[in-house]
Structure 1
Amino acid sequence: MAFSGIGIVAGAALTDAVRRAGADHVEPGIAGNLVHRDGDRWLRDPAYDDERFGSFALFVPPDLPLLTADPDVVDGYFGAVVPIVASVAAPGARIVFGSGTARTAPPDMPIAQAYERFARVVRVARDLGAEQDLSIVLEPLNHDETNVVHTIEQAVAFLDAFELQGVGVVADLFHVQAERESFDVVRSLADRIGHVHVSDRDRLPPGAGDWPWPEFLAAVHQGGYRGPVSLECRWSDDPEPQMAAALRDVRAAAPY
């Protein structure tokens, strides 16, 4: 059995192009795309009316400091936004919790305190998501994007230390490469992976650079992962042919 589908992370402006390119799914961003701020409220973009998606990215806006903001403000954001996501979600859909700027601890915060506060935030998101039949998957992000949870191995250790059951881990080749995490580690922890992102060097589409993305996909597959894979890339001004080519290359290389 291969992966359950190959799709593309895209905003509303590219949704139709992604579908015409032949993707199995579209993975919309949440903050600044699916939901927009209107004063003190968060509203769904009408472009997503009557839609359904299996996964979502870009969970938290960068101007919401999750580790230092009033907890009521953080909880209020999740309480408002998670139901909006659920309104356009397929059953059991996944929310990728990356949001590096939002989750970055200030320099004067002890790292142990940062992890405790982040664990609380993830727990709140997980529990609210579960009420809406949504699952949270934690994305390790490289050192240039955040100072909290950088590798798949660290993400698993963090989730276990704080007993955050039911939260999977995102395997994103961009961050795996940036942190020089071994594909052997990726393979050995694939049973904890809940979602996969792939790109080539500098977020180019697979096949446009020199990264070992086929070997990465083989590693997660050999470890037992059979879920969806989303391409998270920078696209040219004429994205549709580029998307179609990348999807073709990934499908050709995907393990079976």
Structure 2
Amino acid sequence: MTDAPAPTRTPCPPQHGIIAAHARAEEVAAASADFLEQTVVGSLLLEGAGGTWAPATGLAPVPRAPSFAILFPGAVRVSDPAVPLEKTADYLRGAVAAIAPWARPGATVVLGSGASRRIPEGVDRAAAERRFADSVRTARDLAAEHGLEVLLEPLHQGETDLVNTLEQATDFLDAHELSGMRVVADLFHVMLERESFETVHRLAGRVGHIHVADTDRRPPGQGDWPLGEFLTALRDGGCAAHVSIECFTWQDIPAEGRAALEEVRAADPAAS
């Protein structure tokens, strides 16, 4: 299979957003976020009868966004050679069709989904890696047809046993002739995997999007993680990507989100 054409990468100053479901768009806007990074599974794409998935209907208009997250549900097994690749492709066609109407030109789609890519019991690791690479390539190509760019996100070992660090992510892409793809740098996973900021700096040129949180995935400013050092390593290494806050402990997005975004913008050398 030949490489898909690269999606348009529109130059613009980095912006700062919040990851949330479509239903929380007004709360995210009230927090002064530059964008809502919409979740795909369970928000833009809904499960129907018989395990089928279809784009959600009747959603309120929101501004187009530069990034989207949570591409696969756990039931879509993207590293299992026993699952026909065409079944994964069918799911992806629906997913990118659901994303496209809400996306800016060249928007990124984060491929994390730890449960989906976990190696099934009894499956040879090399075979699982090959099938995962095929799934990643399929996602890349189908997204590119809509002007979207899929990014591989390394996830810590508590979430998956396949691609845990930035180093592993770039090595994986290179080993499977996917070197034109970029990755996501997520402070949460970097901290849990104890990956050095020297490595973050060295690989910054291959980073297409940034996720941040504070200790225990709380909003930035509510813990003691080195947000400024992380963002400085990326910016000094040549990364100009947008930044999204990814937290699961929100009590009040308008209030907490505004304070968290102030922390992120103050810590980001590229903030305008």
TM category, shorter:
over 0.9
| Residue number among 17, 20, 26 corresponding to 1:10 in the alignment | 20
1:57 aligns with 2:92: no
Q: Distance in 2 between matches of 1:187 and 1:173?
A: 13
Q: Provide Cα deviations, 1:134-156, integer angstroms capped at 9, x if missing partner.
A: 00000000101001100000100
Match of 2:201 among 184, 187, 190: 187
Which TM-score applies when normalising by structure 1? 0.95
Supply the distance in 2 between the matched residues of 1:132 and 1:48 (Cα, whole angstroms): 22
Matched residues, number? 256
Give the aligned CA root-mean-square deviation in angstroms: 1.7
Task: Kindly state the Cα deviation for residue 236 of structure 1 after the two structures are TM-superposed.
Answer: 3.1
- What's the CA shift for 1:224? 0.8
The farther-off stretch of 154-163 and 103-112 is 103-112
DSSP 3-state at the match of 2:39: coil
| Correspondence for 2:155 among 141, 156, 172 | 141
- Which residue does the alignment assign to 1:176? 190
- 1:206 and 1:250 in contact (8 A); partners too: yes
1:154 is aligned, of 168, 192, 215, to: 168
For the residues of structure 2 that align with 1:101 and 1:92, how far apart are their CA atoms?
27
Which segment drifts farther, 39-48 or 97-106?
Answer: 39-48
Distance 1:41 1:215, change over 3 A: closer
3-state DSSP of counterpart to 2:131: helix
Unpaired runs of 5+ residues, structure 2, are 1-10
- Indicate the percent of aligned positions where both proteins have the same amino acid: 43
Task: Give, in angstroms, the shift of residue 97 of structure 1.
Answer: 0.2
Aligned partners of 1:95 and 1:58: how far apart in 2? 8
In structure 1, the partner of 2:210 is 196
Partner of 2:253: 239
Whole-angstrom CA distance in 1 between matches of 2:53 and 2:266: 44
Q: How far did residue 3 of structure 1 move?
A: 5.5
> What is the alpha-carbon distance in structure 1 between the residues aligned to residue 12 and residue 84 of structure 2?
44
Deviations 1:113-159 (A, max 9, x none): 11101000000000001111000000000101001100000100010
